[in-house]
């Protein structure tokens, strides 16, 4: 089973969800605004994807860049939890194993 993490009103998340539905792939959606990510989730994503799931192109990051960049690694994780709009989305997992961060039509076409 796939899990998709993000924010329900995010256009990129909407595209990803619609794409999964068009492929008739079942998934569970986890909305950061209803249930923020946990430290364990962020650690799992960082371990698999090689970096924290930070969206450096977001308006939220630009607004908080100086603060974020000055934090220790553990405080950065705390900030991602508190300010989930900082997280690059969507994050896609299968059976609780991270697959991809962000949306790419080509990557989603390869899913089964």
**Which band of pLDDT confidence, cut at 50, 70 and 90, is reported for residue 49?**
confident
CB 88 within 8 A of CB 4: no
d(CA 23, CA 108): 9
* 98 classed as catalytic: no
Q: What is the pLDDT of residues 51-81, one digit of tens each?
A: 999 999 999 999 999 999 999 999 999 999 9
Mean predicted lDDT score pLDDT of the chain:
95
Q: Say which of 3, 4, 5, 10 is annotated catalytic.
A: 10
Domains and CATH numbers, the chain: 2-109 (3.40.30.10)
């Amino acid at each position: 089973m796939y899990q998709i993490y993000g924010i329900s009103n995010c256009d990129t998340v909407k595209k990803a969800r619609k794409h999964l539905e068009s492929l008739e792939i079942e998934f569970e959606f986890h909305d950061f605004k209803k249930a923020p990510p946990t430290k364990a989730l962020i650690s799992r994503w960082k371990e698999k994807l090689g970096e924290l799931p930070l969206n450096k192109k977001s308006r939220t990051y630009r607004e908080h860049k100086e603060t974020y960049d000055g934090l220790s690694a553990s405080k950065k994780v705390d900030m991602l939890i508190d300010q989930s709009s900082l997280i690059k989305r969507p994050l896609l997992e299968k059976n609780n194993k991270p697959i991809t961060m962000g949306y790419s039509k080509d990557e989603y076409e390869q899913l089964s």
